[in-house]
Amino acid sequence: MLPAALLLAALPAGAVAAPGLSARRASLRDEIRVWRADQLPPAPSPLNARFSPRLDAVASAVAAARDARSLARAGEELKTWERELLAASYGGVRPAASAVRTRWDPRADLKQRAALDAARRAFAGGAGSAAAAADGSALFDGGSARGEAVPVAPADSGAAVTVEPPPLAPDDPARYAKVRAIVISEGASPRIVDAVIKAAISQKADPLMVLAVINQESDFDPRAHSSVGARGLMQLMPATARRFGVKKAANLYQVQPNLHAGIAYLKELWTRFTGGDMSGLASLDLRHSPDVRSAVAAYNAGPHAVDKYGGVPPYRETEGFVKKVLGYYERLKSALGS
């Protein structure tokens, strides 16, 4: 098979004369370059071996397309390739939001204990099994996070005594182990939940609020794509993401870039409508705080709509979004115990 560039050069002069065809071809070629550079794992890897030749074939089809129909067909082939790559990359995420979701069973919390034993060390890059670090299953110290009593043997006695551990700080990831267990028990990928909590702490945002927004926006599916073009976990529009350093739209399907831009945007809205940061959320009655409701509404409807109506816009979708996000937040806060 000839390289795509050679195929394009070999076309008859009139084959790419239409301005619309040339622009669409250039757009597809840009998308292919982004996917190859930023999403496709480098060789040698199973994903590269599986998907790189297919992307080469799509690139050749784009270059060889002689009319709008054949170019559209190549574009559909690229979309199919994208969906299959994302499915292979994030195969462990929960089903689509329309699927039946299980309720939290407290027994599921007990099942997490074995996987939550090397929390702070793994989170900090210290000791811990390579397998646990790979899927993020051991990022939290579940026992201490639940406030369990810790047996301690005094030096002058063979008997064990029980002491309560000190309260965990908001920036200690182990604090969120019980919340983590709830979200995972409902089908979210442990790797993604861990990434969300870590990113929220790093960016000084409230992890529970970020989890609540993502739960409503994408159901923790990094492959989510809305009809208006919002992408990834936090359902960002490419233009919004560019303001926070994510220049390529395809990168919004990656967990870390999406979280970086989405949390930064949420914090910006929070400051704009509440006049403060997210550090005091645990002490607020969020459902009855007009400023908090405005900040959450702005994430769904945009800040200009909130400004226009002086609060939550009278849109059914936005009103439902605010209610569900704050309800989920309160549920997680209740599980946190603070």
Which residue in 77, 82, 84, 217 is the catalytic one?
Answer: 217
Q: For residue range 266-281, what is the model confidence (pLDDT) as tens digits? A: 999 999 999 888 877 7
Could you give the 3-state DSSP secondary structure of residue 213? helix
Query: Which token pair is 255?
Result: 């967990």
Quick one: residue 65, left, alpha or beta (phi over 0 = left, psi -120 to 50 = alpha)? Answer: beta
Could you give the 3-state DSSP secondary structure of residue 169? coil
Q: For residue range 142-159, what is the model confidence (pLDDT) as tens digits? A: 333 333 444 444 545 555
- This prediction's pTM: 0.62
Examine the pLDDT at 19 and tell me if it is beyond 70: no
User: What b-and-e string marks burial along 120-147, b requiring 16 or more CB atoms within 10 Å of the CB?
Assistant: bebbeeeebeeebbeebbbbbbbbbbbe
CA atoms within 13 A on the CB side of 205: 26
Task: Give me the pLDDT at residue 109, please.
Answer: 38
Task: Give me the pLDDT at residue 131, please.
Answer: 39
Task: Give me the pLDDT at residue 221, please.
Answer: 93
In the chain, what percentage of residues exceed pLDDT 90? 41
Examine the pLDDT at 120 and tell me if it is beyond 60: no
Examine the pLDDT at 113 and tell me if it is beyond 50: no
- Separation CA 189–CA 195 (nearest Å): 10
Residue type, 189: S
Task: Give me the pLDDT at residue 166, please.
Answer: 56
Top pLDDT among 285 and 181 is at 181
Q: Does domain 131-137+169-336 have CATH number 1.10.167.10?
A: no
Task: Give me the pLDDT at residue 167, please.
Answer: 61
pLDDT band at 105 (very low <50, low <70, confident <90, very high): very low
Cβ 236 vs Cβ 252: under 8 Å? yes
DSSP 152: E
- Separation CA 23–CA 17 (nearest Å): 10
Among 14-23, 82-91, 196-205, name the one with the lowest average pLDDT: 14-23
Tell me which residue of 53, 117, 55 sits closest to 80, measured CA to CA: 55
Q: Does the active-site annotation cover 217? A: yes
Tell me which residue of 64, 62, 73 sits closest to 35, measured CA to CA: 62
Cβ 56 vs Cβ 1: under 8 Å? yes
Could you give the 3-state DSSP secondary structure of residue 55? helix
Task: Give me the pLDDT at residue 7, please.
Answer: 42
Tell me which residue of 208, 257, 211 sits closest to 232, measured CA to CA: 257
Among 62-76, 81-95, 111-125, 220-234, name the one with the lowest average pLDDT: 111-125
Examine the pLDDT at 288 and tell me if it is beyond 50: yes
